[in-house]
Amino acid sequence: MMTLEQCNISDVINYLLQQQFFKEPFFLIDRTSKKQMKISSSSEIIKKMYDKIFSITKLWEEKSELEFIQSLTSILGIDFEEVYSIYKIKSEALAEGEESECLRFMFALSESIHLFQKKAIEEAHLQILRKFDFDKNILNQLLGLLSQNADQDLSLYQNFYILKKYSEIVGIKLEQVIISKVFNKIIKKVEKSYKKMSCFNSSSF
């Protein structure tokens, strides 16, 4: 069976950590890669996250997939059962073979990172919500519209929060002020969208 070394484990970890999020050497990017922001400490944060994940890959090579996922979810502070249930469904659909070893590893890591990022984005949205006094469902609807339109500022802010949560894991301080200009742009966009929605609802009666 193909080992993780033959699978180029280093590239897999780096790719999944950085995709639609980070550009070397030290740029935070939006999910379309059209907008970027220089954050000097970002490279060190990503490197330390890589080291943490790589340090537990020996569990996978020792065929302790369950222990690997437990360790990984513990590092990321996410729910093991949620990740493992999805991983199990995907991995059981694979036939045994050399490529399946790599794919199962990618499933475990990608699902863990996906859940981690989802939680970070929810926290980012909560910071936006605190600036307004209208209903949370309305805010989520407005943010959803921005996401559907691939709003670069919202995407950059979401990715900043992902980086911020990584920074907390590796013990590197990341100041909120770095993203303040982008945050203020989002607030203005949400306010503008809310006014449009209010005018439309008023004209409907």
Q: Edge-to-edge strand order for the sheet containing 27-29?
A: 22-23, 27-29, 36-38
Q: Which tokens is 8 given?
A: 């180029």
The pLDDT assigned to 118 comes to: 96
Q: Can you list the residues of the chain whose pLDDT is less than 50?
A: 1-3, 5, 202, 205
The C-alpha atoms of residue 39 and residue 55 are separated, in whole angstroms, by 25
The pLDDT assigned to 26 comes to: 94
The pLDDT assigned to 205 comes to: 44
Q: What is the pLDDT of residues 141-169, one digit of tens each?
A: 899 889 888 899 999 999 999 999 999 99
Nearest to 123 by CA among 83, 164, 153: 164
The pLDDT assigned to 201 comes to: 59
79: left (phi over 0), alpha (psi -120 to 50) or beta: beta
